[in-house]
Amino acid sequence: GDSVTQMEGPVTLSEEAFLTINCTYTATGYPSLFWYVQYPGEGLQLLLKATKADDKGSNKGFEATYRKETTSFHLEKGSVQVSDSAVYFCALKNSWGKFQFGAGTQVVVTP
């Protein structure tokens, strides 16, 4: 079946550091890929998405590129802020519309 694997956290960084969260997937067909962010005490918010190979999703300084050859969708941000502290979820949506989420990666950014 479909699955999403993302790196375990917590990831602790200093402000202005570079952030990478790895995400790989297994799916049949041509899934869409998503990153969601969950701030403390809140629900999940869509951060960015990509619907086909080589698409790059971007939002709020975050980027991720859909790499079909490596089945990956790694999230990156060049200079993190304390306000980026949150849990980040990688997810896929298969051809039939079923979503599969990764376990989540907690990111802690210190001043």
Partner 1 sequence: EAQVTQNPRYLITVTGKKLTVTCSQNMNHEYMSWYRQDPGLGLRQIYYSMNVEVTDKGDVPEGYKVSRKEKRNFPLILESPSPNQTSLYFCASSLVIAGVVDTQYFGPGTRLTVL
Question: Which residues contact partner 1 by CB under 8 A?
Answer: 4, 34, 36, 42-46, 49, 89, 93, 95-99, 101-104
With vertex at residue 20, the alpha carbon angle to CA 15 and CA 22, rounded to the nearest 5 degrees, is: 150
Q: In this complex, which beta carbon is closest to partner 1, that of residue 78 or of residue 103?
A: 103
Task: Kindly give the pairing relationship between strand 62-65 and strand 75-77.
Answer: antiparallel
What CA–CA distance (Å, rounded) separates 96 from 4?
16
- Kindly state the smallest distance separating residue 84's Cβ from partner 1, in Å: 19
Q: In this complex, which beta carbon is closest to partner 1, that of residue 97 or of residue 111?
A: 97
Torsion, CA 7, CA 51, CA 53, CA 100, rounded to 10: 40
- Kindly state the smallest distance separating residue 54's Cβ from partner 1, in Å: 20
- Kindly state the smallest distance separating residue 111's Cβ from partner 1, in Å: 27
